[in-house]
Structure 1
């Protein structure tokens, strides 16, 4: 039996936070020391509570789980991160691992599997959803550059090239070039389809 593993749970849905916390608190060797509704709170609570493992959602307001993982791991390298998400996309798995996460599982995993994943991550092992890990091997790495991802994210709500250009301090022509490159790399017919494909693959 492991000595009390201290857990921080970061999820923007209160019901999910509460349910995960209640389930894991039932385990004799696990102790929930913090609950966060967003990434900034998660980083702050990590500094205050020094958790061993942080269970991290991906889609949260403000900073998403990928960026939060990167910041949390940089500030608190002793805290391991286990991504627990409903968004089972290969691109997210790769991004999470690149950001320093030690594991990636989906929220509908049985409680005992989740508790076991926490223990394994705490022990220094890597825990990946098997089906997702296999899919990610054949799905290819994210082909988009940082700038292409940036303009594609801004294009997602229908902004014009000129509006995007004003926000990112580029010329409208340069923005159009980035959008064109992103459309080509995703195999899309237009920018709206490129956004959908990139989101589905977890590239944004």
Structure 2
């Protein structure tokens, strides 16, 4: 019997996942959690073979929780479930050394199959997404450009960013302009969106 922990903050989706898995004769859901910071403690108490974890969880994101599980409970394998099917998200999941990565819009029969594969020690990945991640270019942004874009993403203007980073406002504007050009954005907000979707920031 494959013992599964389900971590999903949306009650209806979590209930549907549990119901689907409970239909399988070789799978038993031993725990359900709604917050990322509950995963490790509950996993230590219940001893699941596989943790099915949504990427976007409150209090602690799913990839951080997956990395903690890998370090402190290595016998529990992780299957990441997400609606964020971007190559950047997949690269982050791979960097966290998760056992599998499944999109929320995948057919229902793929869920149990993915759980079985991960439990058996296989890497389970969406094929098209894996190819997209393989084909994407490396991050063209420097560390400083990423830092400036992050602050801009939080709503800071060039003057505020220059104060935080101890740079002149003109230098900050140059970093923003260069970052927008490198990622092919229309403006700084578009550059932030592109960089986030690519997993560069």
Q: Is the 8 A contact 1:58 1:85 kept in 2?
A: yes
1:125 alignment counterpart: 122
State whether structure 2 residue 96 is matched by structure 1 residue 99.
yes
Q: CA deviation at 1:170?
A: 3.7
- Aligned partner of residue 191 in structure 2, secondary structure: helix
TM-score (norm 2): 0.85
State whether structure 2 residue 195 is matched by structure 1 residue 198.
yes
1:27 alignment counterpart: 24
1:79 alignment counterpart: 76
Per the alignment, do residues 90 and 111 of structure 1 end up closer, same or farther by CA in structure 2, a change over 3 Å counting? same
| Aligned mates of 1:76, 1:146 — CA distance in 2 | 33
* Higher alpha-carbon deviation: 45-54 or 18-27: 45-54
Q: Is the 8 A contact 2:80 2:100 kept in 1?
A: yes
* Higher alpha-carbon deviation: 53-62 or 149-158: 149-158
State whether structure 2 residue 54 is matched by structure 1 residue 61.
no
| Aligned mates of 1:118, 1:153 — CA distance in 2 | 36
Q: After superposition, give the CA deviation of every residue in 1:142-169 in whole Å (9 maximum; x if it has no partner).
A: 4456665555344223123555577xx6
Describe how 1:105-184 pairs up with structure 2 within 5 A: 105-144=102-141, 149=146, 151-161=148-158, 163=160, 170-173=165-168, 176=172, 179=176, 182-184=179-181
Unmatched 5+ residue regions in structure 1?
Answer: none
TM-score (norm 1): 0.84
* Higher alpha-carbon deviation: 100-109 or 61-70: 61-70
| Aligned mates of 1:39, 1:150 — CA distance in 2 | 26
- Aligned partner of residue 43 in structure 1, secondary structure: helix
Unmatched 5+ residue regions in structure 2?
Answer: none
Per the alignment, do residues 13 and 50 of structure 1 end up closer, same or farther by CA in structure 2, a change over 3 Å counting? same
State whether structure 2 residue 7 is matched by structure 1 residue 10.
yes
- Aligned partner of residue 19 in structure 1, secondary structure: helix
Q: CA deviation at 1:187?
A: 2.9
What is the aligned residue count? Answer: 199
Q: Is the 8 A contact 2:3 2:27 kept in 1?
A: yes
Q: Is the 8 A contact 1:162 1:171 kept in 2?
A: no
RMSD: 2.5
Per the alignment, do residues 97 and 144 of structure 1 end up closer, same or farther by CA in structure 2, a change over 3 Å counting? farther
Q: After superposition, give the CA deviation of every residue in 1:27-66 in whole Å (9 maximum; x if it has no partner).
A: 1111111112121111221222221111111122232222
